[in-house]
Copies of this chain bind each other. A is one copy, B any other.
Amino acid sequence: MPRVSEEHLSARREQILSAAWRCFARNGFHMTSMQDILAEADLSAGAVYRYFPGKLDLIKATAERVSYGLTAAFDTLDAVEPVPPPAEAFGFLASTMLQYIASQTEDLTRVAMHVWSEALREKEISDQVKTVGAAVLARWMNTASRWKDAGHIAPNAEVRDVAKVMYSTMVGFIVQRNLLGDLTVEQYVAGLDALIHSSAAPVSSDTD
Which residues on A are within 8 Å of B, measured CB to CB?
25-28, 30-31, 84-88, 91-92, 95, 110, 113-114, 116-121, 126, 129-130, 133-134, 137, 147, 151-154, 157-158, 160-173, 175-176, 178-180, 183-203, 205, 207-208
Q: CA separation between A90 and B183, bound complex, in Å?
A: 21
Interchain CB contact (< 8 A) of A193 among B133, B147, B180, B202: B202
> Given A113-B117, A120-B114, A208-B189, does the pair A133, B200 have CB atoms closer than 8 Å?
no
> What are the residues of chain B within 8 A of A133 when measuring CB–CB?
176, 179-180
Instruction: Report if A190-B31 is in contact (Cβ < 8 Å); known contacts: A86-B198, A168-B172.
Output: no
Closest to A158 in B: B190
- The secondary structure that dominates the A interface is helix
Chain B residues with Cβ under 8 A from A169's Cβ?
A: 165, 168-169, 172
Looking at the complex, which one of B158, B161, B191, B195 makes contact with A196 (CB distance below 8 Å)? B195
A54→B173 CA distance, assembly (Å): 31
Could you write out 29 A-B pairs with CB less than 8 Å apart?
A: A26-B121, A27-B30, A28-B121, A85-B200, A91-B207, A113-B120, A114-B117, A117-B117, A119-B179, A133-B179, A133-B180, A151-B199, A153-B198, A154-B194, A158-B187, A161-B191, A164-B176, A164-B187, A164-B188, A165-B169, A165-B188, A167-B176, A168-B171, A168-B175, A168-B176, A168-B188, A169-B172, A186-B207, A195-B195
